[in-house]
Chain A
Amino acid sequence: MSGVSLQKVTKVYDNGTKEGVKIIHGIDLEITQGEFVVFVGPSGCGKSTLLRMIAGLESISGGTISIEGRVVNDLAPRERDIAMVFQDYALYPHKNVFENLAFGLRLRKFSEDEIKKRVNDAAAILKIEHLLERKPRALSGGQRQRVAMGRAIVRQPKAFLFDEPLSNLDALLRSEMRTEIKKLHQRLGATTIYVTHDQVEAMTLAQRIVVLSGGNIMQVGTPDAIYNQPVSKFVAGFTGSPPMNFLQGSLGVCADTATVLLTDGVQLPLAASWLPRLAGAHGQEIEFGIRPEDIGIEAGAGFGAERAAMSGTVVVAEPLGAETLVTFACAGGEVIARMPPSVNYRPGEAATIYVDMQKCHLFDRANGVAL
């Protein structure tokens, strides 16, 4: 069953001119009931705008939005039966935690017993029972976040909307709350749309990720698909930490071999599986993409059969404990490699690195589309 459905949704802001300024360019998206979908994209790409259009806080300039089969274009936020968690929590400062949670229920004329029951249940789930009497100003950031989530779940709405709910928390608390949100979704199974620009949150929470850029959908897919089969350089560069490395080059394609020609005369033979896709692409200018974990220092170790060697110079090594990130200068650019913590490089040292050619990505340099 459909949870939230967007059809050709557009948003135009008035900027004085007759045609206005278009922020969202015709979004089509089907979210099934109970699904956890994450909107990611760079700042200003329209994630919040789209979410607020679903919530009813922004008008819809074109297209239709439906929630569980009902078109909500002309419904006020309160009639859409959704709940939203805001980046700055937006707790009512003059009400204590209990009343913050109860507010929506009171407005909807629930009985006092039902209100008590629901608030206490939500408080138990979120472990905020001991805070019910406090005013928001007497809570820590993490506690406020829990209260904000509590206010959303007491209403048992058709859909949960989150707008960067964790971005004001410190790193430790953020990963803790991330786990909480995932658990909460597993427990409640409610349709959830979660906006973030943190790719770790996107990867860990989402059942499907929607990558947005400039008001357009770049790619929709499972975290695995987004990570391993990005359709464009933009998507590829958006996931992973550190993100994918890119080197400029061109293609050399013959009848039965294909090669990536990088600057400085570096040649990397492509796996045979690439051949069918590269017919007629000889000489094409490309970006060669390789993820940090697909670069190694030893031939063979932990790699697939097809790997290619490149010589480079160590620029900097950053030990992280469980691994060390090493930046190499090679083939006219720089690549970051994820290495075991045992490596011991000094800056300036020459090294040979190995690239897993089965895991590499090729993108058209002109338009960034994956080949």
Chain B
Amino acid sequence: MSATISDGSGGGIFTGKRLRWLAAGIVLLNGFFPALWILATAFKSEIELTAKPITWIPHSPTLNNFIAAFRDQPLPHYLLNSAVVALSAMALSLFISALAAYAIARLNLKYRGAILTSIIAVSMFPLVTLMVPLFEIMRGLGLLNSYWALVLPYTVLNLPICTLILVSFFQDIPRDLENAAMIDGCTRLGALWRIVVPLAAPGVFTAGILAFVNAWDEFLLALSFNPAAAYRTLPVGIQMYQGEFSFPWPTISAALVIAMIPVVVVILIFQERVVSGLTSGGVKG
């Protein structure tokens, strides 16, 4: 067997194109299977879930789990908290990282390389190591049990990745577009908001989606900084379905499905707007 990987027309299973399909399949399965399984579970009764052999498609789909999810915990309140926190963190991250990215992409900064490297380095700190100092800071500021207790850390945690994404998009926008805007009457910041950011829309949306999802999903800080029920976000709230002796899988699945819906909606809306090639035509190319 001396079959080569690069030979796409070869006969083996693990060659060329097929290998790529296999890899793609594994990634898809890994990503979608849990989600699909949760989706299926959300419509099953507790009895069907524990029955053997296991069923894939619910036999007698029921909405009872959803009713239970809304009855057992203040789900809309959790949703609202998560939405406030995630959207604020997203907006703040985008605003600040746009300014940072513009400076890195455009001004001839002396230590540009060092700044970029340290941004990447900072983004690699494990969250656990940051948790205690962050907790101390939040307590010192008296911000525990508030939206700010999560919005501020989420923003900070999102900044590196958002900045890196925006830098690479800003760099591709011809400088003369900004120059033209400044001659037309914009200030430098005006040119950033009116010309650069709209043209980097695919990058802005990508960074925005990441920032939103990161904040929406975050559990550790949410659990530690906002223990009060009033500021509980979804990931923490869903935890509350779990009783001392019970683990209501179908109800939790229903709550998870509801938690996933906003993310899916946000991605669908943004994806629509992520039109590549938006910048083509403005300059000669």
Contacts and interface: CB of A to CB of B under 8 A. Distances in A.
B280 A93 contact: yes
A277 interface: no
Contacts of B284: 87-89, 141, 144, 168
Contacts of B177: 90, 92-93
A267 B186 CA distance: 65
B114 interface: no
Interface in B152-206: 174, 176-177, 179-187, 190, 195, 198-199
B199 A82 contact: no
Interface stretch (A31-39, A100-108, A189-197): A100-108
A94 B184 contact: no
A136 B282 contact: yes
Contact of A93 (B176, B185, B187, B278): B278
A57 interface: yes
A82 B183 contact: yes
A36 to B, nearest CB: 20
B285 to A, nearest CB: 8
A84 B179 contact: yes
Contacts of B187: 76, 78
Interface in A292-335: none
A77 interface: yes
A155 B185 CA distance: 10
Nearest to A84: B183
B272 to A, nearest CB: 16
A92 B195 contact: yes
A78 B179 contact: no
Contacts of A107: 184-186, 190
A138 interface: yes
B197 to A, nearest CB: 10
Contact of A78 (B184, B278, B280): B184
A223 B175 CA distance: 33
Given A135-B281, A137-B281, A93 B179 contact: no
Q: Name, among B190, B198, B284, the residue most crowded by chain A CB atoms within 10 Å (CB to CB).
A: B284
Q: Name, among B182, B184, B195, B278, the residue most crowded by chain A CB atoms within 10 Å (CB to CB).
A: B184
B183 A77 contact: yes
Nearest to A141: B284
A350 interface: no
Given A136-B281, A168-B284, A86 B179 contact: yes
A144 B177 CA distance: 14
B181 A103 contact: yes
Q: Name, among A86, A104, A151, A155, the residue most crowded by chain B CB atoms within 10 Å (CB to CB).
A: A86
Given A57-B179, A92-B195, A151 B283 contact: no
A24 B247 CA distance: 77
Contacts of A57: 179, 182-183
Nearest to A106: B185
Given A78-B182, A137-B280, A90 B199 contact: no
Contact of B283 (A76, A89, A104): A89
B185 A90 contact: no
B184 A151 contact: yes
A261 interface: no
A91 interface: yes
Contacts of B4: none
A90 B182 contact: no
B198 A94 contact: yes
A94 B199 contact: yes
B104 to A, nearest CB: 18
A89 B282 contact: yes
A207 B280 CA distance: 36
A52 B180 CA distance: 11
Contacts of B278: 93-94
A84 B179 CA distance: 9
Contact of B185 (A52, A88, A91, A108): A108
Interface in A109-153: 135-139, 141, 144, 151
B55 interface: no
A55 interface: yes
B239 interface: no
Interface in A195-249: none
Contacts of B199: 93-94
Given A88-B283, A90-B282, A138-B281, A77 B176 contact: no
A193 B153 CA distance: 53
Q: Name, among B177, B278, B279, the residue most crowded by chain A CB atoms within 10 Å (CB to CB).
A: B177
24 contacts: A52-B179, A56-B183, A76-B187, A78-B182, A78-B184, A78-B186, A78-B187, A84-B179, A86-B176, A88-B283, A89-B284, A90-B174, A90-B180, A92-B180, A93-B281, A103-B181, A103-B185, A104-B183, A107-B190, A108-B185, A136-B282, A137-B281, A139-B281, A155-B184
Given A78-B187, A91-B283, A94-B198, 9 more contacts: A78-B186, A86-B176, A88-B283, A89-B283, A91-B282, A92-B177, A93-B281, A93-B282, A94-B278
Q: Which 8 A-B pairs have the closest CB atoms?
A: A137-B281, A93-B282, A107-B185, A104-B184, A90-B176, A88-B283, A136-B281, A90-B180
Interface of B: 174, 176-177, 179-187, 190, 195, 198-199, 278-284
